[in-house]
């Protein structure tokens, strides 16, 4: 076998089949350090090492925490039960003289929506603000008269006599109430006959307007409690009024008849009373705990917009109790939520009237 160049087969320089391989010393392997967290990237604060803090030997003095800044009125907006921001309405100022009364009808052809309750308590709240108020019971049921502690069946003169008898004057029929500054034109079942008797009268729609004319120079507000229908008596009330307040129960079926009422108001405005306008729609018997009430209120605002009053009247047994007592809730339970709601409504109503 021929050896390649550069290979020395000497006895000490090579090994053959019978020779053992030389021993190789073991390689040094450095120990593997235990895993540790990666070092953070150097930042501006790492330019110089922080000094080691000294141990605390004394308790630190207590420094009271500054209160959180309170948002201003412009930054914090509270939403009312109608889902809109509640306006801040100042207290109405006193009136120098009484007169130039604004006549307002409480109107809704559906019964049990709070017309009479609103007439009594809104009138009482307006009287608290110094307005001289005349309430007109224009419902043959006489609920307004009963709610103010009168027995309609014991009265000799009512609004029926004022409408149908020319020799009866307004001063003869008006009776005072227990609320200072608030008077009443009472009614009873006799008024139901007036609707039939007025049918053949000339200018039958203006009859109430004519008999109320003397009151306009003596009172600041005249509130008419209409019967739950859209008949001739209600048309008389709308013809005599500058404004309409529509109490509406926060219940689904109460929404269905509002379109018909608006149609009647529009017809009276076009044909009989061009100054008539809707002063507002009032949500009554509202219960914010129920989804149904909240949904009805939402739909009401969607349909009527800013015509809906921000004030709502919530359900409370105080209204029933005050009716039995024959007085407004503003005097029966002056500090109750219901009384405060009607005071707020009175301020909102006054803020909407052009002469206030």
193-206 per-position pLDDT tens digit: 999 999 989 999 99
Of 46 and 281, the one with more pLDDT: 281
Q: What percent of the chain has pLDDT over 90?
A: 60
Interatomic CA distance for residues 38 and 29, integer angstroms: 24
Mean pLDDT within 214-237: 96
pLDDT band of residue 54 (cuts 50, 70, 90) is low
Interatomic CA distance for residues 228 and 277, integer angstroms: 19
Relative to beta strand 102-106, strand 243-249 is parallel
Cα-based angle 199, 210, 243 (whole degrees, multiple of 5) = 95
pLDDT band of residue 254 (cuts 50, 70, 90) is confident
Residue 356, pLDDT score: 59
Fold exhibited by the domain 102-352: Rossmann fold (3.40.50)
Lowest mean pLDDT among 91-100, 124-133, 218-227, 269-278: 91-100
pLDDT at 19 over 90: no
Of 46 and 148, the one with more pLDDT: 148
Q: What percent of the chain has pLDDT over 70?
A: 78
Cβ 241 vs Cβ 273: under 8 Å: yes
Tell me the domain boundaries of the chain: 102-352
pLDDT band of residue 143 (cuts 50, 70, 90) is very high
In tens, the pLDDT along 263-299 reads: 999 999 999 999 999 999 999 998 878 898 899 899 9
| Structure tokens, 94 | 């006193």
Residue 94, pLDDT score: 86
pLDDT at 161 over 70: yes
Nearest to 191 by CA among 146, 150, 157, 230: 157
Lowest mean pLDDT among 74-88, 226-240, 292-306: 74-88
Residue 15, pLDDT score: 45
Q: Is the pTM of this model over 0.85?
A: no
Interatomic CA distance for residues 243 and 326, integer angstroms: 27
């Amino acid at each position: 076998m021929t050896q390649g160049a550069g290979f020395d087969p000497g006895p000490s320089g090579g090994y053959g089949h019978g020779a053992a391989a030389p021993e190789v010393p073991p390689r040094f392997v450095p120990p593997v350090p235990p895993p540790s967290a990666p070092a953070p990237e150097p930042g501006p604060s790492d330019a110089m090492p922080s000094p080691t803090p000294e141990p605390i030997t004394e308790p630190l003095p207590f420094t009271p925490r500054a209160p959180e800044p309170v948002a201003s009125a412009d930054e914090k907006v509270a939403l009312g039960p109608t889902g809109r921001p509640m306006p801040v309405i100042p207290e109405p100022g006193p009136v120098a003289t009484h007169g130039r009364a604004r006549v307002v009808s409480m109107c809704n052809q559906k019964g049990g929506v709070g017309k009479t309750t609103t007439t009594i308590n809104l009138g009482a709240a307006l009287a608290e603000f110094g307005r001289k108020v005349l309430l007109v019971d224009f419902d043959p049921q006489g609920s307004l008269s009963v709610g103010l502690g009168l027995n309609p069946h014991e009265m000799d003169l009512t609004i029926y006599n004022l409408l149908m008898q020319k020799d009866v004057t307004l001063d003869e029929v008006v009776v005072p109430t227990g609320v200072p500054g608030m008077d009443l034109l009472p009614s009873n079942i006799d008024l139901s006959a007036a609707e039939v008797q007025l049918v053949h009268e000339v200018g039958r729609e203006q009859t109430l307007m004519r008999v109320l004319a003397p009151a306009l120079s003596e009172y600041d507000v005249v509130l008419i409690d209409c019967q739950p229908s859209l008949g001739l008596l209600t048309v008389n009330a709308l013809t005599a009024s500058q404004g309409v307040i529509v109490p509406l129960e926060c219940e689904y079926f109460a929404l269905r008849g509002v379109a018909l009422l608006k149609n009647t108001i529009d017809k009276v405005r076009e044909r009989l009373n061009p100054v008539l306008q809707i002063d507002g729609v009032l949500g009554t018997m509202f219960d914010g705990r129920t989804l149904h009430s909240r949904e009805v209120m939402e739909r009401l605002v969607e349909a009527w917009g800013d015509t809906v009053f921000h004030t709502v009247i919530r359900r409370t047994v105080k209204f029933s109790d005050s009716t039995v007592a024959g007085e407004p809730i503003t005097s029966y339970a002056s500090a109750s939520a219901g009384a405060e709601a009607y005071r707020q409504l009175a301020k909102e109503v006054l803020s909407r009237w052009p002469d206030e």
